[in-house]
Amino acid sequence: MKKHRGPRSAKMSNVTTRFAPSPTGYIHVGNLRTALMNYLISRKAGGTFILRLDDTDQERSKQEYADSIMADLEWLGIHWDRVEKQSMRIDRYREAAEELKNKGRVYECFESSIELELKRKKQLNMHRPPVYDRASLGLSDANKAKMRTEGYDSYWRFLLNWTHIEWNDKILGPISIDASSVSDPVLIRADGRILYTFASSVDDIDMGVTFIVRGADHVTNTATQIQIMEAMSGTPPSFAHHSLLTGGKGEELSKRLGTLSLRDLRTQGVEPMALLSLMARLGSSKPVELASSIQDLIDGFDVSSFGAAPTKFNAEDLFPLTRAHVQSLPLPAVADQIKALGVTEAEAQDFWNIAKANITILSDLKEWADLFQNGADPLIETEDASFVQEALAMLPPRPWTKSTWSEWTEAVKTATGRKGKTLYMPLRKALTGRTDGPEMADIMPLIKVVKTG
């Protein structure tokens, strides 16, 4: 059976997942983890992956961010089958709201935000849970009409059934939340704007989403959304809530988002496959290892292998993976960059073979290109100075080949009596300006300039 599928191949299953970022900022590692999990699940099942821009917050949502989210996902190789924008579906949400009003599951409220805040403070002071008291639910039609004519703005809440809302979370296990410990969620603001919880529930039903992976910060939302979906006669999807990423000391990660946006990681030289490899495994019981392809990640992904405890994320862990990935690249993958460094096509293969083992990120190639083309500032210990001077005087004429090093050092050995490390290391330092690097025999043909001072 052939595994590959064309970009528009027919669905092999009805598994549908979605990544639903709000375009209010750049995508970051935490977001990416969610996106990747949903993507991998859909691909593994041969299902559909939807990119949904949750842009109902018109004040904070920006097209610029939407564009950057899509660009970042594409950079990583995460492709979506469908893209949706909540701002294009407002009419549908209003229609769904009418349906729920008719069913008596959405009710009109008249408190101002200030009033609600006061209520909460009062409840907190009395050591009571700050749950909305449903004061407006008891208002008679006449009362409501009166308040409307008096200019009170109304907003709309969903009437929760006070039951225990339960689901079997694919990561957390069985969850039970007492609906009476949660406020009736606001679905429509006084200014008419549809709120996330409602839009999201409508979309997940309408779009046939069957599996939602999201952060543990949505656990309580899930409880209310399950009831909203059921009130719309929809079937709630399966849910999995992954733990949130924290910094190395367990601190909240969002405070440091500035350094953890994909944009930043990208400019630091992190390779997409390194990032994907870490994100697909970090916090799971499977070992973090560099994947050779996205298909690798798809094959090895198992959402149930993730733990519920908060997960520490260290950006440094990306660099060993990046290095491993970079070193595995064939010449064609890096030919353009090597050419841009001024390395001739004839020497490109040798240059890459030699340099790749000594870099972490691709831009590290520059220092090797510089060294070969312009020479290195020699590193000469005072006790080696005369030895080095004598040895350099014995350098054979060009062109240098792979045997130049052994011929030269053999001659120097005979002339000076030095051998082993005391022979080789000062010469390495004199020619390359450093104590580490590729085999000298390999390097010699590429060295164009030897600085002597």
Partner RNA sequence: GGCCCGUUCGUCUAUCGGUUAGGACAUCUGGUUUUCAACCAGGUAAGAGGGGUUCGACUCCCCUACGGGCUGCCA
The footprint of RNA on residues 188-207 (CB under 7 A) is 189-191, 193, 195-197
Contact 199, 56 (CB under 8 A): yes
Alpha carbon distances (Å) from 257 to 68, 285, 355: 16, 26, 33
Stretch 61-100 residues interacting with RNA (CB under 7 A):
none
Determine the Cα–Cα distance for residues 204 and 210; give it in Å rounded to an integer: 8
Shortest distance, CB of residue 306 to RNA, whole angstroms?
Answer: 7
Determine the Cα–Cα distance for residues 5 and 420; give it in Å rounded to an integer: 57
Q: Does 299 bind RNA (CB under 7 A)?
A: no
Q: Does 186 bind RNA (CB under 7 A)?
A: yes
Stretch 329-368 residues interacting with RNA (CB under 7 A):
357-358
Q: At what angle do helices 63-76 and 272-279 cross, to 10 degrees?
A: 90
Alpha carbon distances (Å) from 164 to 133, 179, 295: 18, 6, 40
H-state helical runs in 150-284: 196-206, 219-231, 262-267, 272-279
Shortest distance, CB of residue 221 to RNA, whole angstroms?
Answer: 5
Q: Which is nearer to RNA, 15 or 283 (CB)?
A: 283
Q: Does 17 bind RNA (CB under 7 A)?
A: no
Q: Does 175 bind RNA (CB under 7 A)?
A: yes
Q: Does 311 bind RNA (CB under 7 A)?
A: yes
Q: Does 264 bind RNA (CB under 7 A)?
A: no
Q: Which is nearer to RNA, 48 or 311 (CB)?
A: 311
Shortest distance, CB of residue 111 to RNA, whole angstroms?
Answer: 5
Q: Does 433 bind RNA (CB under 7 A)?
A: no
CA dihedral in degrees (141, 143, 147, 149; nearest 10)? 70
Q: Which of 306, 368, 372, 408 binds RNA (CB under 7 A)?
A: 306
Shortest distance, CB of residue 393 to RNA, whole angstroms?
Answer: 19
Contact 186, 212 (CB under 8 A): no
Q: Which of 71, 133, 238, 243 binds RNA (CB under 7 A)?
A: 243
Pick the piece of the chain touching RNA (CB under 7 A) from 3-11, 77-85, 139-147, 435-443: 435-443
Q: Which of 41, 66, 177, 343 binds RNA (CB under 7 A)?
A: 177
Determine the Cα–Cα distance for residues 6 and 450; give it in Å rounded to an integer: 54
Determine the Cα–Cα distance for residues 328 and 356; give it in Å rounded to an integer: 9
Q: Which helix (H) or strand (E) holds 368?
A: helix 365-374
Stretch 135-164 residues interacting with RNA (CB under 7 A):
153, 155
Shortest distance, CB of residue 288 to RNA, whole angstroms?
Answer: 5
Q: Which of 218, 256, 263, 266 binds RNA (CB under 7 A)?
A: 218
In 86-136, the DSSP E strands lie at 106-109
C-alpha distance across the termini of the chain, in Å: 65
Pick the piece of the chain touching RNA (CB under 7 A) from 9-17, 53-61, 374-382, 395-403: 53-61
Pick the piece of the chain touching RNA (CB under 7 A) from 1-9, 89-97, 284-292, 388-396: 284-292
Q: Which of 14, 63, 113, 401 binds RNA (CB under 7 A)?
A: 113
Q: Which is nearer to RNA, 17 or 56 (CB)?
A: 56
What angle (nearest 5°) sits at the alpha carbon of residue 302, between those of residues 300 and 304? 160
- Rounded to the nearest angstrom, the gap between the alpha carbon of residue 366 and the centroid of all alpha carbons in its chain is 28
Q: Which of 94, 295, 307, 451 binds RNA (CB under 7 A)?
A: 307
What angle (nearest 5°) sits at the alpha carbon of residue 426, between those of residues 420 and 431? 125
Pick the piece of the chain touching RNA (CB under 7 A) from 3-11, 16-24, 291-299, 390-398: 16-24
Shortest distance, CB of residue 49 to RNA, whole angstroms?
Answer: 18
| SS3 category, 11 | coil
Shortest distance, CB of residue 20 to RNA, whole angstroms?
Answer: 7
Q: Which of 71, 159, 257, 441 binds RNA (CB under 7 A)?
A: 441
Q: Which of 228, 282, 315, 334 binds RNA (CB under 7 A)?
A: 282
What angle (nearest 5°) sits at the alpha carbon of residue 190, between those of residues 185 and 193? 75
Q: Which of 127, 330, 336, 397 binds RNA (CB under 7 A)?
A: 127
Shortest distance, CB of residue 441 to RNA, whole angstroms?
Answer: 5
Q: Which is nearer to RNA, 248 or 342 (CB)?
A: 248
Q: Does 129 bind RNA (CB under 7 A)?
A: yes
The DSSP string of 17-45 is EEE---SSS--BHHHHHHHHHHHHHHHHT
Shortest distance, CB of residue 10 to RNA, whole angstroms?
Answer: 31
User: Tokens standing for 299?
Assistant: 């094959």
Amino acid at 398: R
